[in-house]
Structure 1
């Protein structure tokens, strides 16, 4: 990193606004975290650019991209400003307890993998506040500072958020043994996807997001020929319906391992190229100032390494 001489900035709030925009990737996303309107954020950034005599951001169709000078500036001021804000907000250890860790992600994944991995930390006094939702929504909330950590299958745009590959989640085509026997009795040469046209499909939505991704990977098709016979609100509900004999579905291995082990569900095929999704651990800049956040990250990485499914992948 090159060293530049900075003109003096009289108002630290301008630097805080700059850092929020640099981390959020847009003026609009930074505004709620700062408690400001978007025009005020824009005005403050322009004022800082005038004081520094340098351009800080380039506008993009969605958001902004920091200039090389802005990246250097962010590296130099981030830690001191974060330390000041920790003291100012009481977000450091004062009463013998660190601040809670705000963690977000898909509800089924959190229940199956994340929360069990964090239970020992909570028992030892670490506080964790959990939120759920869709990837895109949670990423924007993370940029706004509402979460510290996020488990996601979607990689955030830009470089403001730290992203660590956590594990690979394999998706399986499953049904009960009775349905599997019917599919297995298909005529020679008939592919599994064709035989499944006669089997009811259970999905979390009419557009079949999980099932469609499997079809594209395994069969080169956009979606099954026959849509869902049943739609339910969660993957846990899919498991319940399929286990009861409603039909077939595509499920993450981590959610249906118990059913596979007991024989209640079986795989309908074992493809040469398993359909996998990379699970990402996304961290808000500055979140590492809370020691509890570091503990949570380490616990999640240990759990990923110790688990056979999902399998850890290198960073």
Structure 2
């Protein structure tokens, strides 16, 4: 049986779509469709049920994927090991939110450098871009703020991120926690806000969880990096919602003040994501395990 047909079949099975698989393989959608039809003719059985949005594997398709995928992944591993022997070094490609990758992921992976690893980081604000790059093979590991769906990825919860409502001391001195708890949305509309996007993703998540309402105000400062948001807030530009790990030192130093201490603070879960089957590769498995161990202290 042609391994090219099996490789295309496994990619379609994992991607759940001929179009998606074609993009990942660098082929046209008609070429992928033709290869799957050829494989189905050779086997004499349908492998996928065509639907309006993607495809669903038949029982035969699932069985073939379970039998074929591990062997195809093993061939990839052999190829990767061969590259390692020639190059003498293993390059690990990671991607995710700029602040989290910078503050958490890269320091945790640094010890691998002494073990013959090189690390390349892609700092990406757009989670869709991150997962698309992972699917296309541009990254080995990715950090995502939502569990991806489908069989193309394998995701493991990494850690929870607590969000804190903060402002510079001069703003905090004007605000009462009781007023914020009772009239949070109204207060927000009267104060300048620093955010990463016009849609106020962090502020909206916080207000929904704590005040059970949505903010109506527009941001005064937009900076698409939480580290920039932190500096703007600390300099007095307005209030902001930040991950605790990012602003902990500034809270301790008094540059920022936590405006509220809700009984149940808003949380966001990070997921460590790989392409299905790639944990069979030793360098990805080692980095994956190291990040999960490090996350126990986060």
The answer to whether 1:149 aligns with 2:141 is yes
Q: Per-residue CA shift, 1:204-234, capped at 9, x if unaligned?
A: 1211122112222222223x23211111231
1:121 to 112, 125, 139: 112
Q: Which secondary structure does the structure 2 equivalent of 1:95 belong to?
A: helix
SS in 1 for 2:173: helix
Find out whether 1:20 has 2:19 as its counterpart.
no
Match of 1:281 among 272, 279, 282: 272
Report the alpha carbon displacement of residue 128 of structure 1 after superposing the two structures with TM. 2.1
**1:44-94 C-alpha deviation (Å, 9 max, x unpaired):** 011111211222223344432323322221121122222223445665532
Of 217, 229, 248 in structure 1, the residue corresponding to residue 220 of structure 2 is: 229
Partner of 2:251: 260
**Would you say the 8 A contact 1:99–1:290 is kept in 2?**
no
Matched with 1:77 is 68
> What does residue 4 of structure 1 align with?
none
Q: Give the equivalent residue in structure 1 for 2:163.
A: 171
State the partner residue of 2:92. 101
User: TM-score under structure 2 normalisation?
Assistant: 0.91
CA 128–262 in structure 1, closer or farther in 2 if over 3 Å, else same: same
Structure-1 separation of matches of 2:235 and 2:181: 29
Q: 2:218 aligns to what SS in structure 1? A: coil
Change (3 A) 1:235 1:60: farther
Higher helix share: 2
Distance 1:132 1:65, change over 3 A: farther
CA contact (8 A) 1:21 1:29 kept: yes
SS of corresponding position for 2:117 = coil
Residue number in structure 1 paired with 2:291: 300
User: 1:58/1:136 Cα in 2 relative to 1: closer, same or farther (>3 Å)?
Assistant: farther
Partner Cα distance (1:189, 1:273) in 2: 13
1:213 equivalent in structure 2? 205
Note closer, same or farther for the CA distance 1:88–1:118 as it changes in structure 2 (3 Å cut). Answer: closer
Q: Secondary structure at the match of 1:157?
A: coil
1:202/1:73 CA distance change after superposition, 3 Å: same
CA contact (8 A) 2:171 2:238 kept: yes
Structure 1 pair 88–166 and aligned structure 2 pair: CA distance change class (3 A): closer
| TM-score, normalised by the number of residues in structure 1 | 0.87
Q: Indicate if the aligned counterparts of 2:194 and 2:219 stay in contact, CA closer than 8 A.
A: yes
* Cα distance change of structure 1 residues 27 and 145 upon mapping to structure 2, 3 Å threshold: farther
Question: 2:33 maps to what in 1?
Answer: 42
1:39 is displaced (CA, Å) by 0.8
235-244 or 34-43, which moves further after superposition?
34-43
Contiguous gaps of at least 5 residues in structure 2 = none
